[in-house]
Structure 1
Amino acid sequence: MALTSQMRGTDFYCDVAIPHPDRLDVVYEDEHVLAFHHTRPFWAVHIVVVPKRHIGSLTTVSAEDETDVRELFDVVQTVARDVEREHGAAAVLTNLGAYQDSMHLHVHIHSGGRLDQG
């Protein structure tokens, strides 16, 4: 069964990824943050980093989210550094609004070519 078929709503991370990290190719996990290889990668290297506590988006972050966001970006920095070291380059991206497929703050770290371009 595809992981996305287990979504109950618009939040893949709360519905599937965070409760079932054993079904993912995990790069990093602690009690606050999960980082894993994207289940439907767009780039040759494509890792997603999410806070385990639900935060809707970068634009909805508030003072009460400070600890989670600091921890999230500590992991983003570490993973991006590792990708850059291994592959020579890395990009960091988050989507907002209609660009956001899953309504849970998540950060993409990617490197290499797009998989849809031969």
Structure 2
Amino acid sequence: METYAGDDFYCDVAIPRVVPLDVVHEDELVLAYHHTRPFWPVHVVVVPRRHIASLTSVTARDEADVRAVLAVVQSVAAAVERDHRAAAVLTNLGTYQDSKHLHVHVSSGAPLRD
């Protein structure tokens, strides 16, 4: 796949598997995989399978999905911390959020690019 030009990579590409993914975790609520264009040496993305726009748009209706996402983030971050001695957890909002779908980055290491 060339450069993606849409605004929801997760609903459009990742969840329906338009491209192959190196999956870390998958269940009925959550998908976690190694980023297709990593910014850090270790870079896993955790997303709810159901569309939720961002952390600031979460409502009571999203509780089960968000709880499931956080449980997977905790598990992935613990494994990254164990294997690499450090982990960072990040989500972006507003104009910082390239893909308008709640997603959490779990990473380790120095940025690969500026």
3-state DSSP of counterpart to 2:47: strand
Change beyond 3 A, Cα 1:40–1:33 = same
Aligned to 1:87: 84
Give the corresponding residue for 2:111.
Answer: 114
Shift of 1:21: 7.3
Q: Is 2:16 the counterpart of 1:19?
A: yes
Q: Give the number of aligned pairs.
A: 114
How far apart are residue 22 of structure 1 and its match?
Answer: 6.5
Q: Give the CA deviation at 1:88.
A: 0.1
Amino acid at match of 1:15: D
C-alpha distance in structure 2 between counterparts of 1:24 and 1:115, whole Å: 20
* Correspondence list, 1:14-93, <5 A: 14-20=11-17, 23-93=20-90
Return the offset for 1:116.
1.7
Q: Distance in 2 between matches of 1:22 and 1:40?
A: 12
1:100 aligns with 2:94: no
- The 1-side partners of 2:47 and 2:13 are apart by 12
- The runs of 5 or more residues in structure 2 that have no matched partner are none
Residues 1:47 and 1:33: Cα distance change in structure 2 (over 3 Å): same
Deviation of 1:72 after TM superposition, in Å, equals: 0.4
2:36 corresponds to which letter in structure 1? T
Question: Percent same amino acid among aligned pairs?
Answer: 68
How high is the TM-score relative to the length of structure 2? Answer: 0.95
Paired residues of 2:13 and 2:19 also in contact (CA < 8 A)? no
